[in-house]
Amino acid sequence: MNINIYIEDKLAEQLAKYAERFHRKKNSIVREAIRDWLTRHTERQWPDTILQFTGIQEFPDIEELRKNISEPTKKLF
């Protein structure tokens, strides 16, 4: 697919400079930038194994665990 975009002169100069420096075509850098942007902004979903996890049946309830917590004997701060 071909697409036309407008970029500011300063940005175009930077792109040309880095394309030459890294021996890459400007189009490939733009494609990489778009791919990176889409990767960072794509909504991620937990895997099914996590979504279907119902917990460990043998593990005590949190309230039961809290009953055995004692107050600290000295102040930390």
Average pLDDT, the chain: 91
- Show me where the domains of the chain are located: 9-67
**Does residue 26 or residue 57 have the better pLDDT?**
26
Residues 42-68: tens digit of each pLDDT: 988 888 999 999 888 888 888 888 888
- Nearest residue to 7 via CA among 42, 34, 39, 40: 34
Answer for the pair 53, 46: CB distance below 8 angstroms, yes or no. no
Would you place residue 11 in the very low, low, confident or very high pLDDT band (cuts 50, 70, 90)?
Answer: very high
**Assessment of whether the complete model's pTM goes beyond 0.85:** no
Would you place residue 76 in the very low, low, confident or very high pLDDT band (cuts 50, 70, 90)?
Answer: confident
